[in-house]
Chains A and B, each alone.
Chain A
């Protein structure tokens, strides 16, 4: 009789911990259904072992416990396969994200370099105007042609050094 109590306590603990994980949002809902179903099956068989005997007889399994082992193995196998699929999907998603991050940061770097080039050129124009205050023909900084498509990094302009 003590074996029966042990089994019952174990199933209750199992079900309890799954419910706890669900409540703590440590398991996503899409995995929750299968775990809840499994927990209920474990609880029912733990509480009423006669169910297992009846099932074993109905399926032609002589030793009820063998049916339990078979079903357990099958369920674990399916869960593992399911996890492999999910992990592969996650890896593919991670890969795509890594690619996009690299592409984005390359774009940002190129734009930062272009902005820096514009700033450097504007500073140079201002300095030229200050050096030659009598020369009235200095073009405004915005009119200076700057190659914004040039992705190469540029040396910091004089403004940043000051």
Chain B
């Protein structure tokens, strides 16, 4: 990226999060104010067809809002966010959950890792040393299997493939603005495969993950099995997909070389 100003956008996909969102926005604002490297960072809340006051509260907090008329899922909300970012000329996008699970102070860690490794996609990973968050039982096993396979696909060590705390920049932005998957687990598993097959550099940094405020993740063996099966299906489909992306990418590289 040759742009002189590195403009970052924090995208917060939110679906009926009126309870947690104001707190998260206040925390993000406080963190951005206290770190000079985050001074020029903007915030975008993507209200994913929320039926409560999510969009209203976000506007009241003075941040940009995309109010999707129907629920598209996290992947759909993020693709809208990436489109907004690309059209407004941002060079980095940080995805942050609206439920307070992600600590905004770790955003600088993601940015530092992206610069250090020249990475296009940085995953804020649980189970990587920092924090005490732990999945238990069969779901943990399922997540490990998934992380193992995706580590090979992305040619880097990933311990947490399903984290929603991510930084995308450079070539990842136009790619995600058009191709970000909306399927179940598309925003995590499939997005990683997409990035890897487009030749993007993927890295992870350990982040502390807090318990989400309200709502329990499923830990039962049946749900874990269903989760794993759906994840494997998503993975197999993503891996076997004809890669139009890398073809387009090669075209771009070719024209770039011709110039």
Contact = CB atoms under 8 A, between A and B. Distances in A.
B68 A151 contact: no
Interface stretch (B69-77, B154-162, B217-225): B69-77
Interface in A54-108: 94-95, 98-99, 101-103, 105-106
A103 B84 contact: yes
Interface residues of B, number: 18
Contacts, number: 42
A26 to B, nearest CB: 25
Contacts of A109: 59, 65
Contact of A106 (B64, B69, B72, B76): B64
Interface in A102-156: 102-103, 105-106, 109-110, 151-153
Contact of B72 (A98, A103, A151): A98
A106 B85 CA distance: 13
Main secondary structure of the interface of A (DSSP, over half): helix
A98 B69 contact: yes
B66 A153 contact: no
Interface residues of A, number: 14
B79 interface: yes
A94 B80 CA distance: 13
B50 to A, nearest CB: 12
B67 interface: yes
Greatest chain B CB density within 10 A among A99, A102, A109, A110 is at: A102
A106 to B, nearest CB: 5
A74 to B, nearest CB: 25
A102 B80 contact: yes
B67 A95 contact: no
A42 to B, nearest CB: 37
B62 interface: yes
A110 B83 CA distance: 17
B87 interface: yes
Nearest to B84: A103
A103 B83 CA distance: 8
25 contacts: A94-B70, A95-B72, A95-B76, A95-B79, A95-B182, A98-B69, A98-B70, A99-B76, A99-B79, A99-B83, A101-B69, A102-B66, A102-B67, A102-B68, A102-B69, A105-B67, A106-B65, A106-B66, A106-B67, A106-B84, A109-B59, A109-B65, A110-B64, A151-B64, A152-B62
A-B pairs, 5 with minimum CB distance? A99-B80, A102-B66, A102-B68, A152-B62, A98-B68
Given A98-B68, A105-B67, 19 more contacts: A95-B76, A95-B79, A95-B182, A98-B70, A98-B72, A98-B76, A98-B80, A99-B76, A99-B80, A101-B68, A101-B69, A102-B66, A102-B80, A103-B80, A103-B83, A106-B66, A109-B59, A109-B65, A153-B59
